[in-house]
Chains A and B, each alone.
Chain A
Amino acid sequence: MASEEKTREILKAIQDAVVGYDEETCERLCSSVLEEGIDPHRAVVEGLTGGMERVGELYNSQEYFVPELLLCADALNAGLNVLKPHLKIEDAARKGKLLIGVVEGDIHDIGKNLVRIMFEAAGWDVYDLGNNVKIERFVEEQKKANTDIVALSALMTTSMLAMPKIIGALKAQNPGVKVLVGGAPLSQEIAQRYGADAYAPDAVAAVKRAADLIG
C-alpha cells in the first residue's frame, strides 16, 4: 500500500501524462496504481479526469488546439482501459447517461467529439450517434439507452433548424428527458426559443451544464 505522499506523486504524474499526451507513460502509471494498491477510483478522478480538466483549460486559453486535445484524450483512454476492470461496482456507477450527436444535414463533428471526450473524462456514460443524425434516430436511441440527457450539436444555421423538431419529438416521447444544445451558431437565446433545457458555449461548460441539469 503506497503512502499518501507516494499516491499523490503518482496521481500528479498521471495528470501530467494526460496533459503531455503521453499515452505510454499514462498506461504505465495506471498499472503502477494497481501494483501500489492505490484506489483505482481515486486514480480516475484525481489523475485522469483531473488531467483532462487541465487540458480543457489549456484548450479554452488557446494554448492547446484540437490536435493536442485529441491526443490527451487518447492518453486518458489508455489509462482508463487499465483501471476500468478494477473499479468497484459502486465506483463504476457513472455520473449520468448522455446521448450525443450532430443533427441531420451536418457533418461538422469535431466540436461534438470534443464535447464527448470531456463527458467521458468526467465519468459519464456516453452514447455517440455520430454526425448527420436523423430526428427519429435520436428518439429511438434515447428510448433504448434511457439516457438522462440528449446533447445536440449543430454547426450550421441550416442544420440547427432541425433542433426544435428533435426537441419536440424527444419530449413527446419522454417528458423527463433533458436536452442540452451547443455549436457555433447557437446561443442561450436560440436554445431557449427551441425549447432546450440548457445551452453550452464549449465542451467544458457542457459538462457543467449537464451536471446542473441532473442535479
Chain B
Amino acid sequence: MSMRPDMMSNKERIDALLKGRPIDRVPHFPFIPGFCARNVGYPIAVMYSDAGKSFDAQQKTMEQYGFDWGPLYGYASYGTWEFGGTIKMPEGDYEQAPAHVTFPVQSEADVAGLQLPDVKKAGCLPTAMAFSHLQEKSDTPISVICGGNFTIAGNICSVETLCRWMLKKPDLVHALLRLATDHIVDLVRYWVETFGADRVIPQMWEPSAANYILSPKQFERFVLPYLQESSEKILAMGVKHILYHICGEQNANLPYWAQVPMGDPGLASLGEEVDADTAIKYFGDTCVIIGNIDGKVILEGTPESLYRLCTETIAKLKHAPRGYMMCSGCELPPASPPYNVYVMRKAINDAGWYE
C-alpha cells in the first residue's frame, strides 16, 4: 500500500513534539534492537558489542519500517559489568539481550569495597559512547541508556539479595542505591560534557521496581527518593528531557512516578499493563506518553488483531496533552513477523494524522 506522504521530516516531527508545537502525525518510537539484527542478518550480540553494526542495522530497519526517533544502544542488565561483574552476550536462537553471569556484590562485605565505575572505561560504556558519536553524526537524538537506580542496584547484587536486604539490612540497600544514583549522575555528566546538554536525552529503564516484585510502599521508601535525586541533578545540568521506561506492572507505583521530574516535557514509556486513561491521568500534563503495544500481540497476534490494537491505542492517546509516540510496551520481540512490524506503521498512517 502507499503511505500518505509526511509533511515533516523525522527530525522536524520529533523537535516539534518536544517543543510542544503541532506535528503532522503520531511518531513511531523504536524499541527494537534484536529485531533489527535479524532483519539485516547480524547475530543479536553485535547490537551490544559493535557500535557501528548496531547503528547500521537499526538505521536500515528504521528506514524500512518508518520509525521516527533513531537508533538506541542499551540493555536492562546494565550495571553488572560496569561495577565489576560479568555478563554474557546473547547467542543462539532464544537469547535476546545481554545477561548477567556473576554479580559484583556477592556478600555483605563486598558492598563496602564497591567503587564508582570510571564512566570512560567501564563495561559497555566505551561502546555506548562510540554509538552516541554515530547518533551525533546522523543528527538523531543522543541517548545514554542505563537502568533506573533500583534496577542498577539489583544488577549489582541480584534482585533477590536486594529484596532480602530491604527488610533485613536496609543500610546496605541505601548504600547500593547511593552508588547507583551517583553513577547515573556521573554517566549523564560525561555525555553532557561530550555532546552538550541540549542534545542528550538520557533513558532510564526500571523493570526491577515493578509491582510483581515490590510493594508500592517499598517503592516509595527505596526507589522514589533516588529517582527524584538523579532526575533533579540531571535536569540541573541543562538536560531538557529524560525518558523513563516504567517497565512491567507498575500501576500501584504510578502515583509516585508522577512525582519524579522528567523534564519539560518528560518522556514516559509505559508497558501494556497501564491503560491509556491511567497513563494520561498520571503523565498527560507533564510528559509525552510512549507505548504501549503488547509485544505478545506483535509476536503472535494476527495482523488484523495487531492493527486493531494499534489504531485503538492511537485513538486513545493521540490527543494526550503533551503528545504521544507509538511504541511496543517493552522491547519488540526479535522473532516478530516482519509484516506485523509494518502493520504498526500502517496503523499510524491510517489513524495517526493530526488535522
Interface residues of A (CB under 8 A from B): 21, 62, 65-68, 70-71, 74, 103-107, 110, 113, 132, 156-159, 161-162, 185
Contacts and interface: CB of A to CB of B under 8 A. Distances in A.
Contact of B94 (A62, A67, A113, A158): A158
Interface in B143-200: 159-160, 163-164, 166-168
B96 A158 contact: yes
Given A104-B92, A107-B99, A107-B100, A70 B300 contact: no
Nearest to B34: A158
Contact of B77 (A21, A62, A107, A161): A107
B160 A103 contact: no
Contacts of B92: 104-105
B214 interface: yes
20 contacts: A65-B211, A65-B213, A65-B214, A65-B215, A65-B218, A66-B213, A67-B163, A67-B166, A67-B218, A103-B94, A104-B95, A105-B90, A105-B96, A106-B94, A107-B99, A132-B95, A157-B300, A157-B335, A158-B96, A162-B94
Contacts of A107: 77, 99-100
Interface residues of B, number: 30
Given A67-B164, A105-B92, 13 more contacts: A65-B213, A66-B159, A66-B163, A67-B163, A70-B163, A70-B164, A74-B164, A107-B100, A110-B212, A113-B160, A132-B99, A156-B333, A158-B333
Contacts of B167: 21, 67-68, 71
A65 B214 CA distance: 6
Interface of B: 34, 77, 90, 92-96, 99-100, 159-160, 163-164, 166-168, 211-215, 218, 295-296, 299-300, 333-335
A74 B215 CA distance: 20
Nearest to B94: A105
Chain B CB within 10 A, most for which of A62, A74, A105, A158: A158
B39 to A, nearest CB: 15
A3 B18 CA distance: 74
A106 B295 CA distance: 16
A66 B214 contact: yes
Contacts of A104: 92, 94-95
A144 B255 CA distance: 51
B88 to A, nearest CB: 8
A71 B99 contact: no
A161 B159 contact: no
A161 B335 contact: yes
Contacts of A113: 160
Chain B CB within 10 A, most for which of A67, A110, A157: A67
Contacts of A103: 94
A159 B166 contact: no
A110 B94 contact: no
A70 B96 contact: no
Contacts of B214: 65-67
A62 B94 CA distance: 32
Nearest to A156: B96
Contacts of B212: 66, 110
Nearest to B208: A110
Nearest to B298: A157
A105 B212 CA distance: 21
A66 B159 CA distance: 10
Nearest to B330: A156
A71 B166 CA distance: 10
B295 A157 contact: yes
Nearest to B295: A157
Contacts of A65: 211, 213-215, 218
